[in-house]
Amino acid sequence: MSKILIVEDELPISDLINLNLRMINYETKQVYDGNEALEIIEKENFDLIILDVMLPKLDGFSVMEKIKNKGIPVIFLTAKDSILDKVKGLKSGADDYMVKPFESIELLARVEVVLRRYGKKSGILRFKDLEINLNERVVKKNGEIIDVTLKEYELLILLIENKGMALSREKILEKVWGYDYLGETRTVDMHVQRLRKKFKLEENITTVYKVGYRLKD
């Protein structure tokens, strides 16, 4: 399980990030200023740091300067949206720079990409009796390989990685079929029905009225 440090002084935002990361089984710690960040980084090991820039006591750029030799991946998450700030953040050694306001699903995707780049993600996703080997692109149920189409595979991963979150049909289309897809949202409904039947997830993939779908335990 990857361990992520959230350095964010706005409590509602910090709690929202924490909730979303924990829902997909990341271990997390939260701190609320730059000095607290440095202290906990000295004491504990982290696989990734989500770092605000405008922090009390010591700003995020200064924190980055002090930890850049530790080799911990960092994603800046900040309201500072100028090109100069983005360039400064990336040149400081951060792996990504994301501007607030943000969508949780995008932050989770960026976290996954950075962890995978550093080899800190196991490459195995699990949900109940399902196991997905992301490197081999193999889906197993109770240890038995189940054949899936590419879109069924990508949809299953999207639902598991966003477990507990309501995903709109439009968002699912965008993430699985891409921005250029010209089909209808009924495509999503058909694929969800197939996943429910194929993996016996009728009680786990719930319909969110007038929105889309949610995967739940």
DSSP string, the chain: --EEEEE-S-HHHHHHHHHHHHHTT-EEEEE-SHHHHHHHHHHS--SEEEE-SS-SSS-HHHHHHHHGGGT--EEEEES---HHHHHHHHHTT-SEEEESS--HHHHHHHHHHHHHHTT-S-SEEEETTEEEETTTTEEEETTEE----HHHHHHHHHHHHTTTS-EEHHHHIIIII-TT--S-THHHHHHHHHHHHHHT-TTTEEEETTTEEEE--
Same domain membership, residue 98 and residue 171: no
The predicted pLDDT at position 122 comes to 64
- Domain end residue (candidates: 85, 119, 153): 119
Write the pLDDT tens digit of every residue in 93-108: 899 999 999 888 899 9
What is the pLDDT tens value at each position of the chain, 217 positions in all? 689 999 999 999 999 999 999 887 788 999 999 999 999 999 998 999 999 999 999 999 999 999 988 889 999 999 988 999 889 888 888 999 999 998 888 999 999 889 888 776 667 788 889 998 887 889 999 999 999 999 999 999 989 878 888 999 998 998 888 767 777 888 999 999 999 999 999 999 999 998 999 999 8
CATH number of the domain residue 184 falls in: 1.10.10.10
Residue for token pair 């979150």: 165
Same domain membership, residue 7 and residue 113: yes
- Domain end residue (candidates: 89, 119, 149): 119
Same domain membership, residue 11 and residue 111: yes
Q: Which pTM value belongs to this model?
A: 0.63
CATH number of the domain residue 17 falls in: 3.40.50.2300
- Domain end residue (candidates: 96, 119, 142): 119
Write the pLDDT tens digit of every residue in 134-177: 878 899 999 999 999 999 999 999 898 788 889 999 989 988 88
Provide the domain limits for residue 15: 3-119
Phi, psi values for residue 88, rounded to 5°: -60, -45
Q: Regarding beta strands 138-141 and 144-145, do their DSSP bridges make them parallel or antiparallel, or are they unpaired?
A: antiparallel
Number of domains in the chain: 2
